[in-house]
């Protein structure tokens, strides 16, 4: 849900980039002429939409990485809360659980 919201916001920022002002060569109907389209693509080699999509994908990967790190931290904290009997059931000693549970979330 969070990732979807971020991508939606980025795409809406891209579509409203002109801020309601008419762009150079714009006839006021919201459409770009073929020369304007060529100029936009030739400046950077890609269209603004492609750049926005790449940025959105990068942002989604970043957020997914953060979510993965937080999930690791939650599972390590849960491991620290297990009783000796529960640790014995899964075949882990208290020392192994403490070593794993105290690792930093980015590790």
Tokens of 55: 């940025």
Q: Summarize pLDDT for 45-70 with one digit per residue, the tens.
A: 556 788 899 999 999 999 999 999 99
Q: Is the pLDDT of residue 38 over 60?
A: no
The 3-class secondary structure across the chain, one letter per residue, is CHHHHHHHHHHHHHHCCCCCCCCCCCCCCCCCCHHHHHHHHHHHCCCHHHHHHHHHHHHHHHHHHHHHHHHHHHHHHHHHCCCHHHHHHHCCCHHHHHHHHCCCCCC
User: What's the pTM value of the predicted model, to 2 decimals?
Assistant: 0.50
Q: Is the pLDDT reported for residue 76 higher than 80?
A: yes
């Amino acid at each position: 849900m969070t990732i979807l919201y971020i991508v939606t916001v980025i795409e809406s920022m891209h579509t409203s980039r002109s801020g309601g002002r008419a762009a150079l060569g714009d006839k006021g109907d919201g459409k770009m002429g073929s020369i304007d389209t060529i100029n936009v693509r030739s400046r950077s080699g890609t269209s603004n939409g492609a750049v926005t999509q790449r940025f959105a994908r990068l942002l989604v990967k970043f957020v997914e990485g953060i979510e993965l790190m937080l999930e690791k931290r939650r599972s390590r904290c849960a491991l620290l809360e297990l009783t000796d009997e529960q640790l014995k059931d899964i075949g882990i000693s208290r020392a192994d659980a403490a070593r794993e549970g105290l690792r930093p979330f980015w590790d």
